[in-house]
C-alpha cells in the first residue's frame, strides 16, 4: 500500500523503501516498542536471523539468496540444503520454511533416502487393525509409522505400537503425560486398555466391585456441595 508495482518490482512512494515498500524512512516508534513488535514467540528479535527496522524484521540475506524469510525471519530454507549434494531436499522434494516435504518414494530430513517398497506395500504395513493409516495418530514413512506422541526421554510415549494402535492415555483417569497413574492404581494398562485387579472394575478400574460404604455415606460422597447426587448428571 506504499508504492506501485512495475514489472514485478516495487516503486515506493516517498517515505518508504524495501522490496515491498514495507519500511518507513523515518520511524515514529521508540526503539523499545519497535523491538517488541519484532520479537518471535520465544521473545527473540527477528529469531536472531535479521534486524528490526521500525517494528518490522529485515532478514539477513547477505548472499542475496532470499532463503531467510517470514514475519520474524523464522524460516531458513538453508536448513533444506543437503551437505553432500548441496541441492535443496536432494532434488527429491520441496522446501517450505526450512522443512523438506518429499516426493512419493523418498524420505528423510533432506529426502535423501529412497523407499524400496511399493506404495501398496507401504500402505499395507502402516494400516492399523481398524483400517486407518497409523491409527490416525502417526505418520507413515516407507512402511513404518512414526507416532505423533514421542516421550521427551527418548523412550516411547503414551502412543506406540507398529501402527500407533496403543494409546495409553486411555488408561489415565486424568490425562497428564508425566503421570504414571494408570488404571487408577488398580490395574495394568495393556495397549490402551485397563486389565483390572481383582475387586475392581470400570474402564479405568475406578469402581470397587464391593463397597465398604453405607448407602448414606456413599450418597454423601456423591453429593458434595451440590443439591443433587452427582450434580444430577450421573449415578
Residue with cell 499395507: 124
Summarize pLDDT for 138-149 with one digit per residue, the tens.
888 888 898 887
In this structure, of 8-12, 21-25, 224-228, the range with the lowest mean pLDDT score is: 224-228
C-alpha dist (Å) from residue 10 to 3, 4, 101, 141, 164: 6, 6, 31, 43, 51
Confidence of residue 158 (pLDDT cuts 50, 70, 90): confident
Domain(s) labelled CATH 2.10.25.10 in the chain stretch across 169-208
Q: Residue 48: what pLDDT? A: 92
Confidence of residue 64 (pLDDT cuts 50, 70, 90): low
Higher-confidence position of 19 and 205: 205
The alpha carbons of the chain give a radius of gyration, in whole angstroms, of 28
What is 169-208's CATH number, 3.30.450.20, 3.90.1640.10, 3.40.50.1400, 2.10.25.10?
Answer: 2.10.25.10
**Residues 35-51: what's their mean pLDDT?**
93
On average, the pLDDT of the chain sits at 86
Q: Residue 72: what pLDDT? A: 93
In this structure, of 58-62, 184-188, 213-217, 220-224, the range with the lowest mean pLDDT score is: 58-62
Q: Residue 226: what pLDDT? A: 80
Cα–Cα–Cα angle for 189, 190, 196, rounded to 5 degrees = 50
Q: Residue 170: what pLDDT? A: 85
Q: Hey, which residues does 106 pair with through a beta bridge?
A: 114
CB neighbours of residue 68 within 10 Å: 22
- Confidence (pTM): 0.50
**Residues 123-135: what's their mean pLDDT?**
92
Confidence of residue 221 (pLDDT cuts 50, 70, 90): confident
Q: Residue 154: what pLDDT? A: 46
Contact 102, 111 (CB under 8 A): yes
**Residues 152-178: what's their mean pLDDT?**
73
Q: Hey, which residues does 187 pair with through a beta bridge?
A: 196
**Residues 57-86: what's their mean pLDDT?**
86
Compute the CA torsion angle 12, 16, 17, 21 (nearest 10 deg): -60
Helices then strands, each counted (H, E), the chain: 3, 20
Summarize pLDDT for 109-125 with one digit per residue, the tens.
899 988 888 888 989 99
Amino acid at each position: 500500500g506504499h508504492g506501485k508495482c512495475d514489472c514485478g518490482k516495487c516503486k515506493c512512494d516517498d517515505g518508504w523503501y524495501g522490496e515491498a515498500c514495507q519500511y518507513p524512512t523515518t520511524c515514529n516508534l521508540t526503539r523499545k516498542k519497535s523491538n517488541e513488535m519484532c520479537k518471535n514467540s520465544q521473545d527473540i528479535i527477528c529469531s536472531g536471523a535479521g534486524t528490526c527496522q521500525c517494528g518490522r524484521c529485515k532478514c539477513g540475506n547477505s548472499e542475496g539468496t532470499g532463503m531467510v524469510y517470514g514475519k520474524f525471519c523464522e524460516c531458513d530454507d538453508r536448513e533444506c540444503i543437503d551437505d553432500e549434494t548441496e541441492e535443496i531436499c536432494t532434488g527429491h522434494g520441496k522446501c517450505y520454511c526450512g522443512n523438506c516435504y518429499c516426493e512419493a518414494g523418498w524420505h528423510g530430513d533432506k529426502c535423501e533416502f529412497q523407499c524400496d517398497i511399493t506404495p501398496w506395500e507401504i500402505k499395507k504395513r502402516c494400516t492399523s487393525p481398524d483400517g486407518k493409516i497409523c491409527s490416525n495418530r502417526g505418520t507413515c514413512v516407507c512402511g513404518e509409522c512414526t507416532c505423533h506422541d514421542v516421550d521427551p526421554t527418548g523412550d516411547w510415549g503414551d502412543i506406540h505400537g507398529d501402527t500407533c494402535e496403543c494409546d495409553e492415555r486411555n488408561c489415565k483417569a486424568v490425562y497428564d503425560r508425566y503421570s504414571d497413574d494408570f488404571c487408577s492404581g488398580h490395574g495394568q494398562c495393556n495397549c490402551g486398555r485397563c486389565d483390572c485387579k481383582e475387586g475392581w472394575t470400570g474402564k479405568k478400574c475406578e469402581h470397587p466391585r464391593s463397597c465398604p460404604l453405607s448407602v448414606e455415606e456413599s450418597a454423601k460422597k456423591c453429593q458434595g456441595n451440590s443439591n443433587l447426587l452427582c450434580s444430577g448428571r450421573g449415578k
